[in-house]
Amino acid sequence: MKMLKELAALVGGTVVGDGEVEIHRVAGIDGAAPGDITFLSNPRYQPLLQTTRASAVMVKPGVEAAGVNLLVCPNPYLAFAKVLTALHVTPPEFRGVMEGAWVDPEATLGERVTVYPGCFVGKHVKIGSGTTLYPGVVLYDSVEVGEGCLIHAGVVVREGCRIGNRVIIQPKAVVGSDGFGFAPDGEGYYKIPQVGIVVVEDDVEIGANTCLDRAALGVTSVGRGCKIDNLVQVAHNVKIGTDTIIVAQVGIAGSTEIGRHCTLGGQVGVAGHIKIGDNVMAGAQSGIAGSLDSNGVYSGSPAIPHRDWLRASKNFAKLPEMRKEISRLKRQLEELQELIKEG
Amino acid sequence: MKMLKELAALVGGTVVGDGEVEIHRVAGIDGAAPGDITFLSNPRYQPLLQTTRASAVMVKPGVEAAGVNLLVCPNPYLAFAKVLTALHVTPPEFRGVMEGAWVDPEATLGERVTVYPGCFVGKHVKIGSGTTLYPGVVLYDSVEVGEGCLIHAGVVVREGCRIGNRVIIQPKAVVGSDGFGFAPDGEGYYKIPQVGIVVVEDDVEIGANTCLDRAALGVTSVGRGCKIDNLVQVAHNVKIGTDTIIVAQVGIAGSTEIGRHCTLGGQVGVAGHIKIGDNVMAGAQSGIAGSLDSNGVYSGSPAIPHRDWLRASKNFAKLPEMRKEISRLKRQLEELQELIKEG
Amino acid sequence: MKMLKELAALVGGTVVGDGEVEIHRVAGIDGAAPGDITFLSNPRYQPLLQTTRASAVMVKPGVEAAGVNLLVCPNPYLAFAKVLTALHVTPPEFRGVMEGAWVDPEATLGERVTVYPGCFVGKHVKIGSGTTLYPGVVLYDSVEVGEGCLIHAGVVVREGCRIGNRVIIQPKAVVGSDGFGFAPDGEGYYKIPQVGIVVVEDDVEIGANTCLDRAALGVTSVGRGCKIDNLVQVAHNVKIGTDTIIVAQVGIAGSTEIGRHCTLGGQVGVAGHIKIGDNVMAGAQSGIAGSLDSNGVYSGSPAIPHRDWLRASKNFAKLPEMRKEISRLKRQLEELQELIKEG
C-alpha cells in the first residue's frame, strides 16, 4: 500500500484531490474499485472518469475531473509502469543454494544469490550478488552472470558467455548455442567450430525460447538496454546497439550489425553481413535484404520505405485488373492505329 | 487387440465382412499386414483395396470391395483417430512423486498424480487428479493445473497461471512468460511489470516451444478446445476463442482478440489491438494488419481476401512485362497524337 | 599448439615460408597477433597481408606476400574450419553418470558415456559409446542415441525416437513432440494420436529450440549430414534428404518430402504434402506452395523462380505510378478516339 502523495513523489507528478488516500492496486479504468489507481491512456475514454470507482486516476496535464483524485504526470504511461512496480512487484525471495541444485565447487557466487533445484552451475562460473536462478537453469563452465539478474526456469547459457547486470531472461531462452557455420567439403559439410561467445550487456531483457548464437570467432553482442521478445533468432557475430527493441520471432542472420534505438517488428528477417543504422524501424514481417542508413522506416519483403510499401500494397490486389486494362488499351490503340493508317 | 465389431461399436460404424477378425494395429494402406486395420482416405487409392493385406479397411459409405472386411463409417478420418487411440494409446504409467522431484510442502496434489524426476512444483500449486508431469516440468508458485493433463518434459508454467482439464502441453512450451511491455523514459525503456496471468481452458493442446505470455494486467486466455502448434507466440492480453486452430510459428501481437473456430496457417502474423471474428481462415505466412469480420478466408501480407490474393499473386511475376508494356503504349500513343496533330 | 607444417598436413596444403613456426590460435586478420594463424577470405583484404602480425595466413593458390608465412590450400574456408578444430576444440570431458542424473536400470549405456545432473534416461533407452548428455537432457522410454553424440542442455527426445551417430543437438531442441493432427468431430476436434517416431540419421546437427515432430504413423526422417538451424519447425511425416541445409525459423508442413543438398533460407515456409527435388534453393522468407523439380532457385511467397522474383520485386514499389499511368493512357486514348470520331 502507498498513499497517493507517495506515488506522486515516485513518478514526479502532482496530486489534484486527496493525497492521503490509500492505494493498494493498479487496475484498468472500467474494472477499478476503491483502493485502486487507474490511468487514462486515451482521451476518448475521458467520460469514464465520471463513473470510475477507482480511488485515483493517473492523467496527463490538462485533464480535469471534479470529485476524482487525479495524479497528474507528464508521461502517464511511464508513471503507470512505475506505480505498477511500486505496488505489485516484490523482489524474488532469497533462498540461497537449494537442495537439488548442482553448483560446482569452483564456481563463485556473490551475496544473496538464489539457485533453485534442478539448476546446474559449472566450473569457474561467476554469479553476481542478488541474482536468482529459477529451477532448471544451466550455466556451462566459465559463464559470468552479473548482479541483480533474474534468470528464469530452464534458461541455458553455454560456456564462456557473459551476462551483464540487471538482465532478465525469460524461461527457456538459450544463450551461446553454436552459430550455424559449415564449410562444404565436396560431398557434405564440415562443421566450423564456434569458439566465440555471446556478451549480453546491462539491463537487457531476453524473451522466452529466444536463441542467441555464440560467435564463430569473437563476440555476438547485445547492447545495454536492448529488449528482445520471444522466439527471436540472433545468429553468430551479430552486434545489436543499445536500447534496440526486437519483437517476437525476428531472425537476424550472421555478422549483421544493428544500430541503437532501432525497432524490428514481429517476424522481421534481416539478412547476414549487412549494417542497419540507428533509429531504424522495420514493420512486422519485413525482410531487410541490404544495409540501411539511420532514421528510416521500412516495410515489405524485400523492405522498401514504409510509405512506398503502404502505397504499393494498396495496389497489389488491383494487379489482375491492371493487366486486363493494359491489354484493352493495347487493343484499342492498335485499332486506332489501323483506323488512322486506313484513313 | 480389439475385434472388428468392437471397433465398429466404438466409431459408430458397421461391419461388412467378418466382425470377429482380430485387429492389433493401425497401418497405412500399402504397408498393412494381417492383423492391421487401415483406412481409405482418398477415393483414388481405391484400387489398393484389392491388394492390401490388411485384415480390415475403414471406408466411407458407398465403397465396396469383395473379399475385404470393411468398417463403413460416415467420417473415416475421425474413425481412424478413434481406432488409433483404442489400439495404440496407453494411459501414462502412474508413478507418483518420484525421487528427484521437488514438490513444495504447500502444494496440493490430487489422486494418481505422477511427478517425474527433475520437476519443480512451487508453493500453493494445485494439480488435479490423474495429471502427469514429465521430467523437468517447472510450475512456479500458485499455478493451477486441472485433471488428466499431460505436461511434457521441460514445460514451464509461471506464477499464478491456470491450466484446465485434459490439457496436453508438448515439451518445452512456456506459459506465463512476461509480456513484452516497456515505457520509453527518455533515453531507454522502463519495464512495465506483467502482473496478469494466462488462463488455458479445458481440452487445449499447446505445441513444443510455444510461448503464451502473461497479461500486463488481467488475463491472456486460450479458449476451450483450441489447438496450438509448435513455436507459436501469443502475446500478452490476447484472447483466443474456443476450438481455434493455430498452426506452427504463428505470432499474435498484444491485446488482440481471435474468435471461435478460426484457423491461422503456419507463420501467420497478427497485429496487436485488433479483433478477428469467428470462422476466419488465414493462409500460411499472411499478415493480418486490421480487424476482420467473421467467416472470411484471407491471405497475403497485408492480408486481403484469399481469392483476390490468389489472382494478384499470379500476376506478380508479370510486373516487369506490364511496366514495359505501359511504356510502349505511352510511346505509341504519343506517336499517334503527333501524327494526328500533324495531320 | 601445432607447427605450421603440421597444420599444412592436416588440411592438405603447402607452406610458403617457415613451416616450424608455432601456431596457438586462429584469429581474424586484423586482430591477429604472433602465434596466431589467420585467413584471407576475400581478395580485397589482400593489402592486410602486409600489415598483419599473424604468424601465418591461409590463402588460396596464387596469393603471394613476401615476408609472411603462407599456408596455401585449395579451399581456405574448409582449411580454416579444420585448423580451428585442431587448435580450439577439445573433446567433452568424460564424467560418467553424475550424481543428480536419473538413469533407468533398464537403460543401456555404451562406454565413456557422460550423463550430467538433471538428465533423465528412461526405460530401454540405448546410448552409444562416447556420447555426452549435458544437464537436463530428457530421453523418454525406448529412445536410441548413437555414438559420439553431443546432446546439449535441456534437449528432449520423446519415446521411441532414434538418433544416429555423431549427431549434435543444440540446447532445448525437441525431437518427437506430437505431430499436429486433429479430426473435426462436429463441434470441436478429436486428437489423432501420433504413434510414429522421428529418425535422425548420422552426422546431423539440430539447432537450439528446433522442433521435429513425430509421425502420425511411420517415420519423420532427417537424412545423413543435414544441418538444421535454430527455431525450425519440422512437422509430422516430413522426410528430408541427405546434406540438406535448413536455416533458422523455417517451417515445413506435414508429409512433405525435401530432396538432397537443398538449402532453405531463413523463415522459409513449405506447404504440406508436396515434394521438393534435389539441389533446390529457396530464398529467405519464401513460401513454397507446390512441388518443385530439382535444381532450381526460388524466392517470394508464393515462391517463383528467383530471377523472376528479383525483377518483379524491383517493380513492386512502382505499382501506384503504373496504375496512374494506365489511367492517364486510358484518358488520352479516349480523347484521341473522340478526336478521330469527330474528325
Local confidence band at B343 (pLDDT 50, 70, 90 cut-offs): low
Which residues of A form the catalytic set? Answer: 236
Chain A residues with CB-CB distance to C31 below 8 A: 218
Mean pLDDT, residues A184-209: 96
Mean pLDDT score of chain B: 95
Report the residue count for chain A.
343
Is A266 touching B (CB cutoff 8 A)? yes
Is A332 touching B (CB cutoff 8 A)? no
Chain A residues with CB-CB distance to B332 below 8 A: 333, 337
Q: What does the pLDDT read at residue A248?
A: 98
Query: Which of B 271-300 lie inside 8 A of C, CB atoms?
Result: 284-285
The CATH architecture assigned to B2-88 reads 3-Layer(aba) Sandwich (3.40)
Mean pLDDT score of chain C: 95
Look up cell 466404438; give the residue. B10
Chain A residues with CB-CB distance to C207 below 8 A: 177, 180, 211
Residue range C38-91, pLDDT digits in tens: 988 777 888 888 888 999 999 999 888 888 999 999 888 899 999 999 999 999
Is C158 touching B (CB cutoff 8 A)? yes
pLDDT at A25 over 70: yes
Q: Distance (Å) from the C-alpha of residue C311 to the closest C-alpha of chain B?
A: 6
Cβ–Cβ gap B170/C172 under 8 Å: no
Q: Distance (Å) from the C-alpha of residue A280 to the closest C-alpha of chain B?
A: 15
Rounded to whole angstroms, the Cα distance separating A11 from C280 reads 58
Mean pLDDT, residues A91-97: 96
Rounded to whole angstroms, the Cα distance separating A209 from B5 reads 47
Q: What does the pLDDT read at residue C343?
A: 64
> What is the CATH topology of the domain spanning B102-307?
UDP N-Acetylglucosamine Acyltransferase; domain 1 (2.160.10)
Residue range C172-188, pLDDT digits in tens: 999 999 999 999 998 89
Rounded to whole angstroms, the Cα distance separating C309 from B199 reads 44
Cβ–Cβ gap B322/A322 under 8 Å: yes
Q: In Å, what is the CA distance from B133 to each residue of A170, B158, B171, B289?
A: 21, 15, 11, 38
Chain B residues with CB-CB distance to A209 below 8 A: 172, 174, 209, 211, 231
Q: Where are the domains of chain A?
A: 2-88, 102-307
Q: Which of C88, C124, C152, C236 is catalytic?
A: C236
Judge whether C236 counts as a catalytic residue.
yes
Mean pLDDT, residues B181-188: 92
Chain C residues with CB-CB distance to B323 below 8 A: 315, 318, 322
Residue range B260-295, pLDDT digits in tens: 999 999 999 999 999 999 999 999 999 999 999 999
Which chains sit next to C, with 3 or more Cβ pairs under 8 A?
A, B
Residue range C282-322, pLDDT digits in tens: 999 999 999 999 999 999 999 999 999 999 999 999 999 99
Chain A residues with CB-CB distance to C170 below 8 A: 174, 177-178
Is A267 touching C (CB cutoff 8 A)? yes
Q: What does the pLDDT read at residue C103?
A: 98
Q: What does the pLDDT read at residue B186?
A: 87
Per the CB < 8 A criterion, the answer to whether C145 and C131 are in contact is yes
**Grid cell locating C96:** 560418467
Local confidence band at C92 (pLDDT 50, 70, 90 cut-offs): very high
Is C229 touching A (CB cutoff 8 A)? yes
Mean pLDDT, residues A310-325: 95
Cβ–Cβ gap C320/A316 under 8 Å: no
CB pairs under 8 A between B and C: 194
Q: What does the pLDDT read at residue A150?
A: 98
Rounded to whole angstroms, the Cα distance separating A169 from A165 reads 12
Give phi and psi for C324, each to the nearest 5.
-60, -45
Cβ–Cβ gap C170/A185 under 8 Å: no
Q: Distance (Å) from the C-alpha of residue B333 to the closest C-alpha of chain C?
A: 7
Largest CA distance in chain A: 102
Helix (H, G, I), strand (E, B) or coil at B188: coil
Give phi and psi for C336, each to the nearest 5.
-65, -45
pTM for the model stands at 0.96
Work out the burial of residue A261: count CB atoms within 10 Å of its CB; fewer than 13 is exposed, 13-18 middle, 19 or more buried: buried
Strand partners, C102: C120
Mean pLDDT score of chain A: 95
pLDDT at A341 over 80: no
pLDDT at B43 over 80: no
Which residues of B form the catalytic set? Answer: 236
Q: Is B243 left (phi over 0), alpha (psi -120 to 50) or beta?
A: left
Mean pLDDT, residues A319-333: 94
Local confidence band at A343 (pLDDT 50, 70, 90 cut-offs): low
Spatial CB neighbours of B43, under 8 Å, sequence gap ≥ 6:
B63
> Residue B260: which H helix or E strand, with range?
none
Chain A residues with CB-CB distance to C317 below 8 A: 304, 308-309, 312
Q: Return the higher-pLDDT residue of C50 and B70.
A: B70
Rounded to whole angstroms, the Cα distance separating B139 from B143 reads 6
Rounded to whole angstroms, the Cα distance separating B119 from C138 reads 12
pLDDT at A289 over 80: yes
Mean pLDDT, residues B89-95: 94
Per the CB < 8 A criterion, the answer to whether A198 and A212 are in contact is yes
Q: Which of C116, C194, C211, C330 to mutate to test the interface with B (most CBs of B within 10 A)?
A: C211
Cβ–Cβ gap C78/A183 under 8 Å: yes
DSSP per-residue codes, C28-92: -TTT--TTEEEE--SGGGGGGGGT---SEEEE-TT---TTS-EEE-S-HHHHHHHHHHHHH--PP
Is B153 touching C (CB cutoff 8 A)? yes
Per the CB < 8 A criterion, the answer to whether C49 and C65 are in contact is yes
Residue range A302-313, pLDDT digits in tens: 999 999 999 999
Rounded to whole angstroms, the Cα distance separating B57 from B73 reads 10
